[in-house]
Amino acid sequence: MSGPASIRFRTAVALSMVVTLLWLAAAAVTSRLLTREMGQVFDSALQETGQRILQLAVIDVLSREEEGITQHVNPLDTHGEYFTYLVRDTQGRVLLASHSAAPELFPSFAAPGFYQTADFRFYQEMAVQGTVILTISEPMAHRQEVARELALGLALPLIAVIPLSVLGIFYALGYGLHPLGQLRQQLARRDANDLAPLGTEALPGELRPIAGAVNQLFLRLGKAFDAERSFAANAAHELRTPLAGAVVQLQRLRQQTREPETARRADEIELTLKRLTRLSERLVQLSRAEGARLLTDTPQDLSVVLRLVLQDFDRGPDAGRAQLTLPPAPVLSQVDPDAVAIVARNLIENALRHGDGGRVRVALSSQGELSVENDCATVSPQELAELSGRFVRGIGSGEGSGLGLAIVETIAERIGTPLQLSSPILGQQGGFRAALYLGRRA
């Protein structure tokens, strides 16, 4: 089933139908009025013609030496007659007739006036005290032909006027609804994190209340998101100190105790606290990814940031496992260096945790694409599509928080670049690859 039509299309169709019906109704009414007026004109011409012929017929009849002689008026040339007439006396004898008049088609009427049958319109007039009677007729087919020509003359212009009116309606509606289209495009160009107010200065009066309501909604959403991010960031930040203190106390307790069971439990608690510490760090990173400014006005070299991140890993338990490949020339980026470090750190930690224990290959292309690859079993397409969700842990994630790829996905969305996850690696039987573009924008 197709979706609902646009406002412009529905309104244009409705207006076109209304205008078309109005044009047709106006043409029908006009045709009817003109036909009535033409009928009156024809009746007037029939009456005037009959009265003039009667005057001539009276003179002709009275000047005859013999009575009851029928005389036909001979035409000067061959032509069709619209009016035919008979002049008769009171006994019904034909005294005078037009050249094509058929007496059997002329009924006798009791009084002067207009009469009509299915095929003819008659007018009867009398003179000389009713002794000379003229009946003149006009075929109804003549009047019907004139009515058809009149209706055709009104209909032919409509064949051009109606399509032009429809085109004019579509164009006028498009012009009138152009500000609505601009507002729609302005909203469509925004990403999920753009809650800046809409500009209302150039909008017409009818759309300003709508834009104002949308701005109020953006404002409320912004405040709600800020409160949520602030709570998560503050809570995670405040947890750092007590968690670090608790870890130190556990380490001291483990050193002082001589009971193996107590030491074992202290180790388990320390692991749990360290996992909670990492989770709080991820929450702080996620809050920064969602709320901080990620693009700067001054481009920075990505190679410098990646070297610093790899140096941190080389000081830890996974020293030497991450291999960095950089282009010979600097690669500039407008992405904030802290955001770049967060992206690189999370991708590398994800590769180290889920890899098969081999090397993790970190590469930066000269165009600014950062890719991180690790060897592992092939990840199914379904699991691959869900990995960037929050608190989604891959198979064998161990102590993972389920936020690493979600943080990278959030940063990628906000800087306008896709996070590309693929498995297996192109040209290999297995492996996992994560890549995104961090280079300088035009």
* pLDDT of 371 higher than 50: yes
Answer for the pair 140, 65: CB distance below 8 angstroms, yes or no: no
The predicted pLDDT at position 123 comes to 93
Structure confidence by residue, pLDDT tens digits, 305-333: 999 989 988 887 888 888 999 999 999 98
Residue 286, pLDDT > 60, answer yes
Q: How does residue 191 score in pLDDT terms, banded at 50, 70 and 90?
A: low
Cα 405 from Cα 411, distance rounded (Å): 10
Mean pLDDT of 341-361: 86
* Predicted TM-score of the model (pTM): 0.48
Q: Rounded mean pLDDT of 18-40?
A: 88
**Arithmetic mean of pLDDT over the chain:** 80
Average pLDDT over residues 46-57: 88
Q: How confident is the model at residue 1 (pLDDT cuts 50, 70, 90)?
A: very low
Q: Which residue has the higher pLDDT, 337 or 202?
A: 337
Instruction: Indicate if the pLDDT at residue 115 is higher than 80.
Output: yes
pLDDT band of residue 392 (cuts 50, 70, 90) is low
